[in-house]
A and B are shown apart, each in its own frame.
Chain A
Amino acid sequence: VKRFSEIMGAYTAVDRWLEEQLAEAAAQNQPRREKGLQSRQAMNDHAYFVLLFGQFEIAVNEACIRAIKSRQAATNWLRRRGWDILRPDDRRLGGLSFEDRVALVLDRRTEDYRQVKRYYDIRNMAAHGKFQGDYLDIGRVAADLQTLFGRLSA
């Protein structure tokens, strides 16, 4: 997740500015302004979450490419055979869905895999304006994504 810190830095700068405005609106008893600022904060959270998840997707793709290339280099066909049909240099590794790419580098039967799948759903909801919850807590979500990144196994 090469640009994770850079994205979080940009997010924090914008979020702090919105938060200062929100505090001012509350202190001045301006509920309509407060509501508008909270909507902007939520929109900002969604936008940065999509960017953060994009970094996670890049990390998944890179781990997949490493996994495929190392298995395809094996001289033992028994080790190589399932991996030979994959195309690591093609876009999306030859058309694999995100879920399948994740399954190459995380055990599909684990809670980690299910957690990635849930965040992928949130990413799609946020990107299409269909988020069902109230807010995203970006600090926690970013920490979760970094933990999951550390669990990817090439």
Chain B
Amino acid sequence: MRPQYRDVLEEVTAEDLPREHVVRRIDDWAERIGKLYDRISGWLPGDIKVDRSDTISMSSNIMTATGVTSRSLPVFRGRRGQAVALTIEPEGLWIVGANGRLKAYGAGGFAHIVDRAKNFQQPKWEIAFSPDRHTGHPLTKDTILRLI
């Protein structure tokens, strides 16, 4: 029976991680990011306009080892006029102890948004404010607005 790879620890220590699994995980990551950005867009004040046109290249050792090419992922920028009020950028998917992490920052501070769910489960987003990046808080409108 095909292994399920329930979390990143299982993936990173797998003998032969199938290429199709890695591609599926990247697709899922891109989808989770898209939905996260949608949710956060809905929490921002009306004078902040969201721009997702910038991208960042996603590449990692797991992708190289399984022959998967790099992928572009969107960067979130909330602009108030010419000024950028909030930036959110993917940091990595294969994080032992998490299921993907993004960094988020604005005039109010710097934070990491982390998914604590198992692979292919409903995301459990948390936010941890710098410099204490190991204490997570629920991701809510209030916690996001602290960054602006």
Contacts and interface: CB of A to CB of B under 8 A. Distances in A.
Contacts of A6: none
A139 interface: yes
Interface string A21-43: 01100110000000000100000
B61 A118 contact: no
B12 A122 contact: yes
Residue of B11, B97, B114 with most chain A CB atoms under a 10 A cut-off: B97
Nearest to B114: A137
Given A16-B132, A26-B110, A131 B61 contact: yes
Interface in B67-104: 87, 91-98, 101, 103
Given A23-B105, A133-B62, A134-B91, A122 B130 contact: no
Contacts of B96: 122, 133, 135-137, 140-141
Contacts of A141: 96-97
Given A133-B8, A134-B92, A118 B130 contact: no
A125 B61 CA distance: 12
A119 B114 contact: no
A20 interface: yes
Interface string A6-22: 00000010011101101
Interface in A104-154: 115, 117-119, 121-122, 125, 131-141, 144
Nearest to A126: B96
A139 B95 CA distance: 12
B9 A118 contact: yes
25 contacts: A16-B132, A19-B130, A26-B87, A26-B103, A117-B13, A118-B13, A122-B13, A125-B12, A132-B60, A133-B61, A134-B92, A134-B94, A135-B92, A135-B96, A135-B101, A136-B95, A137-B95, A137-B96, A137-B114, A138-B134, A139-B97, A139-B133, A139-B134, A140-B96, A141-B97
